[in-house]
């Protein structure tokens, strides 16, 4: 993380997101760290996640509940409309979309693409309920 000096709390929050594969919410980060850091508050987690995103060290994904991603390379996501989980889509980023979108004087630098659907776990749960 370069020459920047972070507080111990901010460093642990950042590392929790980096280690996660689930694009955690602030609540998820808080739940993971509170046993190790009893003085940590949910407000501190929110504040630090937003600061880390403003500094370009994390990406904040919009949605019903904000989720955070430490993977900074452009990539696509999948979001479950039932449980809200977010996963990386295993597909190439299409920079050609940026070119197509650059019309009427726009200078497009990147795009964010999220596919919404039903995750495998929720799909299996639905199938199980249909069979019951």
- Residue 68, pLDDT > 60, answer yes
Spatial separation of the C-alpha atoms in residues 128 and 110, rounded to whole Å: 40
Domain with residue 55: its CATH number is 1.10.10.10
| pTM of the full structure | 0.79
pLDDT tens track for 76-95: 999 999 999 999 998 988 88
Three-state secondary structure call for residue 22: coil
**H/E element holding 18?**
helix 8-19
Residues 52 and 8 in one domain: yes
Picking from 50, 70, 90, the residue at the C-terminal end of a domain is: 70
Last residue of a domain, one of 55, 70, 85: 70
Task: Count the neighbouring beta carbons within 10 Å of the beta carbon of residue 95.
Answer: 11
CA pair distance 111, 132, nearest whole angstrom: 42
CA 25 to chain centre: 7
- Say whether pLDDT at 116 is over 80: yes
DSSP secondary structure, 55-96, as one string: TTSSEEEPSSS-EEE---S---EEEETTT--EEE-SS---TH
Residue 113 DSSP class: -
pLDDT at 2: 45
Residue range of the domain that includes 42: 1-70
Is the domain of 27 the same as that of 80?
no
86 and 46 belong to one structural domain: no
- State the DSSP H helix or E strand holding residue 97, giving kind and residue range, or none if neither: helix 96-101
Position 4 confidence tier, pLDDT thresholds 50, 70, 90? low
Distance separating alpha carbons of residues 13 and 26, to the nearest angstrom: 9
């Amino acid at each position: 993380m370069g020459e920047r000096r972070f507080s111990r709390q901010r460093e642990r929050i950042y590392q929790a997101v980096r280690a996660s594969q689930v694009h955690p919410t602030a609540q998820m980060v808080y739940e993971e760290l509170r046993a190790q850091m009893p003085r940590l508050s949910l407000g501190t987690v929110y504040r630090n996640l937003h600061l880390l995103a403003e500094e370009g060290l994390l990406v904040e994904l919009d949605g019903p509940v904000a989720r955070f991603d430490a993977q900074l390379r452009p990539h696509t996501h999948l979001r479950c409309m039932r449980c809200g989980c977010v996963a990386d889509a295993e597909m190439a980023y299409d920079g050609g979309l940026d070119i197509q979108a650059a019309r009427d004087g726009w200078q497009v630098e990147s795009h964010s693409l999220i596919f919404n659907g039903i995750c495998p776990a929720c799909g299996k749960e639905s199938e199980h309920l249909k069979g019951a």
